[in-house]
Amino acid sequence: MALNVDGSGNCADLPNKNYIQLAAPPKKSDDGTWELKLGKPLPFDVSEKSFVRQHTDGATFKWAGASFLTPGKQVECTGKIKGVATCGTENGKFWTGARKFRLVIAPMTALSPDKPMIIHSIKLEKVGVGK
C-alpha cells in the first residue's frame, strides 16, 4: 500500500517510496472507512487523511519462454515491452520512473553436465519511441 500519494489520481507522486506491506487484507468498516493492519510500525510519517493507492512492492516480470524443450533443438523466445504505465503497473509496460531492468533466464528443465543449457545470443533492441 502506497501512502502520502497524489490525491488527484494523476500519480504525480511517482516514484513513491512511501509504501508498506499489510499484515492482513484491508477491512471496510460500516462507516465507509478502511482499517489497515500493519505488521510493524510505520518507518515514515503519514499525514491524517493521507491518500493511499494499491502498490506493487518489488519486481514485476514480462515472461517469454518455452517450457517444453527438445535436446539439440534451438528455441527462440521473445518478449516486448510496450511503453510506460500511466500509473502503477500495467501489463507489458515499464513502471513510471523506471531507470533500469534485469534480464532473468530461468531454466524450466533439468540441467546437468551432459544436458547443458546453451544461450546462443541475446538481443535487446529499441523498436519504437513512446509506443
SS (H, E, C) 53-105: ECCCCCCCCCCCCCCCCCCCCCCCCCCCCCCECCCCCCCCCECCCCCCCCCCC
Specify the pTM.
0.46
pLDDT in tens, the chain (131 residues): 888 999 898 888 888 888 888 888 788 899 988 888 888 888 888 888 888 887 764 456 666 666 666 667 777 777 778 888 776 667 778 877 777 787 877 776 666 777 777 777 888 887 765 54
Cα distances (Å, whole numbers) of residue 14 to 72, 87, 95: 46, 8, 9
Determine the 3-state secondary structure of 10 from DSSP. Answer: coil
